[in-house]
């Protein structure tokens, strides 16, 4: 869960309440991880995404897995503005190995906002 989430079951974001599975803000009655205004999505698309293969976000094109807004050529679970991330990066993170957050760089494991070079 993220900041300000209440009663979330799985991978919710800020201000989402009573979501069943990976819903976003203002999304209601989603069947399979789709987002607002998504058309022709196969799996876990976001707002305005078209022809996504897997877990893309807003404005993402040719993403392989779990990309977010403006991310291109991401391998796994990237977020806004992240490029060439290996695993579960967030906004503005680059070259993160595992579960980084906003503004974290070169973190090895489970860092938070503004943390740099943290081990655990």
Residue 30 has pLDDT above 50, yes or no: no
Residue 4 has pLDDT above 50, yes or no: yes
CA distance 46 to 70: 12
pTM: 0.10
The pLDDT assigned to 114 comes to 54
CA distance 101 to 33: 22
Residue 22 has pLDDT above 50, yes or no: yes
CA distance 97 to 48: 28
Task: Give the pLDDT band (50/70/90) at residue 38.
Answer: very low
The pLDDT assigned to 78 comes to 47
For the stretch 56-102, pLDDT in tens is: 454 444 544 454 555 445 445 545 554 454 455 455 545 545 554 55
Task: Give the pLDDT band (50/70/90) at residue 107.
Answer: very low
If DSSP codes are grouped into helix, strand and coil, which group holds residue 25? coil
Average model confidence (pLDDT) across the chain:
49
């Amino acid at each position: 869960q993220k900041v300000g989430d209440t009663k979330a079951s799985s991978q919710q974001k800020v201000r989402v309440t009573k979501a069943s599975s990976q819903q976003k803000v203002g999304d209601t009655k989603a069947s399979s991880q789709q987002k607002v205004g998504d058309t022709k999505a196969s799996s876990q698309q976001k707002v305005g995404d078209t022809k996504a293969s897997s877990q893309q976000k807003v404005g993402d094109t040719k993403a392989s897995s779990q990309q977010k807004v403006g991310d291109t050529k991401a391998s796994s679970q990237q977020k806004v503005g992240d490029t060439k991330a290996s695993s579960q990066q967030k906004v503005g993170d680059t070259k993160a190995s595992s579960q980084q957050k906003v503004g974290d760089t070169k973190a090895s494991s489970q860092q938070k906002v503004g943390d740099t070079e943290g081990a655990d």
